[in-house]
Structure 1
Amino acid sequence: MSYAQLGPIAVHLPSRIETNEDLQEQFPRWDLKLIAEKTGILQRHIAEPGETASDLAVAAAEKLFQENNIDRSTIDFVLLCTQTPDYPLPTTSCLVQDRLGLRTSCGALDFNLGCSGYVYGLAMCDGLIQSGAARNILLLTAETYSKYIDADDRSLRTIFGDGAAATLVQAADDQSMRGFRFGSDGSGGDMLLVSDGGGRPTEDAIEPRHRKRWKSRLYMDGPSLINFTVEAVPQLVDEILADNQMSRGDVDLYLMHQATWKMLDQLRSQLELPPEKLPIEMADVGNTVSCTIPILIDQLRSRSNWNAAAPKMLVGFGVGLSWAGCLWEDHFAIG
């Protein structure tokens, strides 16, 4: 039997950078120092008005192919996670398949899952590979949340950045990912949502959990999301560890969705982990939704202290509500 191996990753970020200094000049009354202390974010990359998720995804994929000498004719499936598709239909991954010049016998699938999407995507890759349906999968994450955010929205504009990541997931003889666990709770769908643009009439749409303070199409109830996270994530972590007869100390790194510094610091405290075990690396990119985990892996892989063979845990959580995690050893970097 073959298993999925998480291979090389390429990241593409829009060229336009919006710093906290830029925002301070534009909004002198905003306390950007206090905001940065809570979010851990100093700047974000923002897509241009005509720049879409597919543009970012294609750029990331082309970078992946070029930097790793990948023959695009070997790609037999494209999985694209995005909550900002180019159109309601057609499927954005089909457009990406065509733009990349991938063969027409290549499968293509969009999935809308946000912050937990990368781990869900890896699980789908593993299933496709174990079933024999695919051997070389292009897993893409691409988000342009900035298009949902009003320029005056202090709560969201200081957090979310745009970007894309491309990961090659290949069939391998040894198992490098295991212990997948998932969770979902749609009763929390009112914590983070864009309620317009779908098929449901506006008057029947989900109402935000609390009064909307800003004009943004995107609504976020930060305190409720933190409460959900500090309850669901430690439980998920312990369930995965118990399934695999491991303790928290057996895991080298906990690589989690980079939401905000405050949220991840609370998880460090809740899980009783030292800072180096749960890295926070979002200062220069912000919260890029489904792209945060592959961006984090790409950043850490380049460092001399990266212990590829040591077990790591990947954990995504957020909008949906949805959450997912798995254990991972970086066999690609070892080999």
Structure 2
Amino acid sequence: MPLCTLQQVRFAGMAACVPKTRVSNLVDCKPELRPERQRLVRNIGIEFRRVAQSWQCFSDLAFDAAETLIESLAWQRDEIDALIVVTQSPDYLAPATAIILQDRLGLSHTTLAFDVNLGCSAYPYALHLLGSMIASGSVKKGLVLVGDRSSSPCDPLFSDAGTATALEFDAAAAPMYFDLNSDGSGHQAIILPVGGHREPVEVQHLIPYRENPQAPWRRAVDLVLDGPAVLSFSTQRVPLAVEKLLDYAQSTKDEVDYFVFHQANRMINETLRKKLGLPIEKVPSTLRDFGNTSGASLPVTMTARIREPLEAGPTRLLLCGFGIGLSWATCLVDVDGACFPEFIES
């Protein structure tokens, strides 16, 4: 979509929740794999991951984040007009997880509730979606719940997380600026090829295999990720998108307090930082401690790394998510007086 501006939308608060279980990529693996894992950790920058219990869904983490945020804001539940869940880890194929969470959270029957299927670029999309409803006047207060349960015992990249963000109408709020993009020609770069209607799950899809004796074991139902394609896409598209949005908003890099990028891996994120000429202190990272938390990585990083500065006073943030789809989304948001509860472990 074209660059756009949302008026009269206030960023009211945010909460993030991760599982208590912390897994080490270096320790929690077979001894014979440790030399390979050491090289991998040096390259991707992910030493620890958060992994949900077998009974724990993304919605359980998002519920805890939303409950904490609602109570911290002292919002009345019948005031919340919209609940939007952005995830690729729904409780069921049907009904929508947002409908279930509307009931669990005790929200009114008049609450608009629906799901959106999106991963790495989810957070700016979510802010724009709810923000557009508020800017149009149809919604006064709303929540977006963003995250995934995407960890796997054998995968050293992904972690689980659920987050909640509150937006509300405020005539005096600073403008929010957005740039949202998609390129479906690259959809096979990050894909779960089995499990949808195109190729339903069958018994053979659950049997582990490896393509050669040196390759890791995998199943047909596991995520396929084309690393070189994702690296090329990210490092080409994202810097241009950041520069374009700053130019549109008539803002400079010096006027932005923090640049928060999707936590993909160290190689991608360091390349982005250097291409944009950004100082390390302006680019917070949670890769080492939390890994890649998919669509939740922006709010997880904001909560875990810059919560105190965000609560202290006016802060200008440039948020950028990119990946599955392929898709990339950037927004420029001014945060002032928002509520940021402490990091939640569930």
TM-score by length of 2: 0.85
Q: Is the Cα–Cα contact under 8 Å of residues 26 and 38 in structure 2 kept in the other structure?
A: no
Q: 1:64 aligns with which of 55, 63, 69?
A: 69
Number of positions where the alignment pairs a residue of Structure 1 with one of Structure 2: 320
Deviation string, structure 1 residues 231-266 (Cα, Å, up to 9, x no partner): 100110111112122333332221111111221100
The CA distance in 1 between the partners of 2:30 and 2:313, in whole Å, is 43
Structure 2: 5+ residue runs without aligned partners?
A: 1-5, 202-210, 340-346
The CA distance in 2 between the partners of 1:105 and 1:244, in whole Å, is 35
Q: Go from structure 1 to structure 2 and tell me whether the alpha carbon gap of 1:276 and 1:104 turns closer, same or farther (over 3 Å shift).
A: same
The CA distance in 2 between the partners of 1:239 and 1:29, in whole Å, is 42
The CA distance in 2 between the partners of 1:166 and 1:7, in whole Å, is 11
- What amino acid maps onto 2:230 in structure 1? L
Q: Go from structure 1 to structure 2 and tell me whether the alpha carbon gap of 1:307 and 1:35 turns closer, same or farther (over 3 Å shift).
A: farther
Q: Is the Cα–Cα contact under 8 Å of residues 43 and 286 in structure 1 kept in the other structure?
A: yes
- What amino acid maps onto 2:178 in structure 1? F
The 5 A counterparts of 1:105-144 are 105-144=110-149
The 5 A counterparts of 1:260-275 are 260-275=265-280
The CA distance in 1 between the partners of 2:93 and 2:185, in whole Å, is 24
Q: Is the Cα–Cα contact under 8 Å of residues 45 and 162 in structure 1 kept in the other structure?
A: yes
Deviation string, structure 1 residues 176-226 (Cα, Å, up to 9, x no partner): 3422111100011111111122111359xxxxxxx8965141111112111
Deviation string, structure 1 residues 131-177 (Cα, Å, up to 9, x no partner): 1111111110131112xx4x44xxxx211000101111111123334
Q: Is the Cα–Cα contact under 8 Å of residues 82 and 111 in structure 1 kept in the other structure?
A: yes
2:206 maps to: none
The CA distance in 2 between the partners of 1:23 and 1:141, in whole Å, is 28
The CA distance in 1 between the partners of 2:38 and 2:176, in whole Å, is 41
1:18 maps to: 23
Structure 1: 5+ residue runs without aligned partners?
A: 204-210
**Ranges of 4+ aligned residues in structure 1 off by more than 6 Å:** none
The CA distance in 1 between the partners of 2:15 and 2:310, in whole Å, is 20
1:198 maps to: 196
**Cα distance, 1:27 vs structure 2:** 5.3
2:318 maps to: 313
Q: Is the Cα–Cα contact under 8 Å of residues 2 and 171 in structure 1 kept in the other structure?
A: no
The CA distance in 2 between the partners of 1:312 and 1:2, in whole Å, is 16
**Cα distance, 1:59 vs structure 2:** 1.6
Q: Go from structure 1 to structure 2 and tell me whether the alpha carbon gap of 1:252 and 1:102 turns closer, same or farther (over 3 Å shift).
A: same
1:207 maps to: none
1:42 maps to: 47
Q: SS of 2:259's equivalent?
A: strand
**Cα distance, 1:278 vs structure 2:** 1.9
The CA distance in 2 between the partners of 1:123 and 1:76, in whole Å, is 16
Q: SS of 1:180's equivalent?
A: strand
Deviation string, structure 1 residues 94-130 (Cα, Å, up to 9, x no partner): 0110111111100001111101111001001111001
1:206 maps to: none
The 5 A counterparts of 1:111-190 are 111-146=116-151, 149=152, 151-152=153-154, 157-190=155-188
Identity %: 32
Single out whichever of 25-34 and 81-90 deviates more from structure 2.
25-34
Q: Go from structure 1 to structure 2 and tell me whether the alpha carbon gap of 1:102 and 1:188 turns closer, same or farther (over 3 Å shift).
A: same
Q: Is the Cα–Cα contact under 8 Å of residues 150 and 160 in structure 2 kept in the other structure?
A: yes
1:208 maps to: none
**Cα distance, 1:272 vs structure 2:** 1.6
1:240 maps to: 245
The alignment yields a C-alpha RMSD, in angstroms, of 2.3
Q: Go from structure 1 to structure 2 and tell me whether the alpha carbon gap of 1:43 and 1:168 turns closer, same or farther (over 3 Å shift).
A: same
The CA distance in 2 between the partners of 1:271 and 1:254, in whole Å, is 10
Q: Go from structure 1 to structure 2 and tell me whether the alpha carbon gap of 1:185 and 1:307 turns closer, same or farther (over 3 Å shift).
A: farther
**Cα distance, 1:21 vs structure 2:** 4.0
The CA distance in 2 between the partners of 1:182 and 1:322, in whole Å, is 8
1:287 aligns with 2:285: no
Q: SS of 1:315's equivalent?
A: strand
The CA distance in 2 between the partners of 1:141 and 1:184, in whole Å, is 19
Q: SS of 1:23's equivalent?
A: coil
**Cα distance, 1:84 vs structure 2:** 1.0
The CA distance in 1 between the partners of 2:329 and 2:288, in whole Å, is 24
Q: Go from structure 1 to structure 2 and tell me whether the alpha carbon gap of 1:68 and 1:91 turns closer, same or farther (over 3 Å shift).
A: same
Q: Is the Cα–Cα contact under 8 Å of residues 136 and 168 in structure 1 kept in the other structure?
A: yes
Q: 2:263 aligns with which of 258, 278, 283?
A: 258
Single out whichever of 81-90 and 59-68 deviates more from structure 2.
59-68
1:74 maps to: 79
Q: Is the Cα–Cα contact under 8 Å of residues 2 and 130 in structure 1 kept in the other structure?
A: yes
The CA distance in 1 between the partners of 2:177 and 2:105, in whole Å, is 33
Q: Is the Cα–Cα contact under 8 Å of residues 7 and 174 in structure 2 kept in the other structure?
A: no
The CA distance in 1 between the partners of 2:130 and 2:175, in whole Å, is 11
**Cα distance, 1:281 vs structure 2:** 2.2
